[in-house]
Amino acid sequence: MLRHWLLTAALSAAVPIFTAPMASAANADGAPPLVDAAWLGAHADDVVVVDLQEPEAFQRFHVPGAVNLPYERWRTRAPKDRKDPALLASMLPDAAVLETMLGEAGIGNDDHLVIVGTGRSAGDLAAAARVFWTLKVLGHDAVSVLDGGLIAYADAGAPLARGPERRPPTTFKATLRPALAPDAAAVEAARADATQLVDARSEGEFVGIYTGDSDERPGTIPGAKHLPYDWVAADGGATLRSAGALAQLFEARGIDPAGAQVHFCHSGNRAALSWFAAYAVLGNEQARLYDGSMMEWAQSEDRPVAAAIELCEAC
């Protein structure tokens, strides 16, 4: 009943050699990057929960003491001029914007953050992984993702709260790691160096049947391997597969789990999940996420795109 309540409310709201499966790589403070409800319950007094729900849903149900920072606030909004690649929507905001947002929410550099999505699907888990990546780019290592999100937390019988929550404002200062967020030029250089490119989109997008935006040329970056983002989640849901299963899955798609990788999708959202699986769970610090992804790459005629299927729309 509670699971149904949560789900309905959420829906209505707007680099070593790899020789064997590896356990989740621990953060600098010893906490795993992927935690479950039991871990969160045991460490509730030592962490700050960051809830990605919309405010209306957050006020219905959330982890007690959580901070509400809806997912849309972690990405840029639609610009007026879509022809300027520098103004693309859904990308990483300026560091100053994120510093202000985090500080006003009462989050400081010493806080260990646990990112909590609703837990409806692999898409919710990808959103949490994207926020995890954002914090890593900001230089904040004390961060984990709640496996299964709020629904799994509720299903475990953990306590829930409702209404607003507020923490006293503080200061958050970023120490940027630009290498974790390669731009188009860096991706082109990686491609020239035969770095593994991982396309996390659907098969239709990968082969060129359709695109995520009218401005995109159909297809993928030449040489990319295909690993749909929802494959790394158990049954396409909001819980990640085990490290051993993930290693098998990467290898089955022709991807060396320990090799250098650049993950991409349409706008760097879905690919955050395959990147998280490689970087955080398999411990591959050579994995990178391309923020602009095909939304940026495929708009420029100067960048190559390969389509396995080219349909004649005028036939």
**Is 7 in the same domain as 136?**
yes
SS3 state of residue 29: coil
* Per-residue burial over 232-265, b = 16 or more CB atoms within 10 Å of its CB, e = otherwise: bbbeebbbbbebeebbebbeeeebebbbbbbbbb
% the chain with pLDDT above 90: 80
**Is 123 in the same domain as 221?**
no
**Is 145 in the same domain as 56?**
yes
pTM, full prediction: 0.90
More confident residue, 17 or 236: 236
| pLDDT tens track for 258-277 | 999 999 999 999 999 999 99
DSSP alpha helix (H) spans, the chain: 2-12, 37-42, 55-60, 95-104, 122-137, 149-155, 184-192, 203-207, 243-252, 271-276, 293-297
**Is 202 in the same domain as 88?**
no
SS3 state of residue 49: strand
- 240-259: average pLDDT: 98
**Is 131 in the same domain as 241?**
no
Q: In which domain, by residue range, is 199 found?
A: 178-297
Residue 304 forms part of a structural domain: no
Residue 45 forms part of a structural domain: yes
**Is 212 in the same domain as 78?**
no
Report the pLDDT value the prediction gives residue 300, as an integer from 0 to 100: 86
**Is 236 in the same domain as 143?**
no
Strand 143-146, strand 48-51: pairing: unpaired
- 210-237: average pLDDT: 92
- 3-state percent breakdown (helix, strand, coil) of the chain, nearest 5: 35, 10, 50
List the single range of 23-37, 166-180, 253-267, 273-287 with lowest mean pLDDT. Answer: 23-37
Report the pLDDT value the prediction gives residue 20, as an integer from 0 to 100: 31
Q: Of 281, 255, 240, 222, nearest to 22 (Cα)? A: 281
**Is 52 in the same domain as 133?**
yes
- Domain CATH number, residue 182: 3.40.250.10
| pLDDT tens track for 46-94 | 999 999 999 999 999 999 999 999 999 999 986 544 455 556 788 999 9
**Is 265 in the same domain as 142?**
no
Strand 225-226, strand 48-51: pairing: unpaired
**Is 101 in the same domain as 37?**
yes
**Is 150 in the same domain as 10?**
yes
Residue 167 forms part of a structural domain: no
Mean pLDDT of the chain: 89
| pLDDT tens track for 8-19 | 443 333 322 222
Domain count, the chain: 2
| pLDDT tens track for 113-138 | 999 999 999 999 999 999 999 999 99
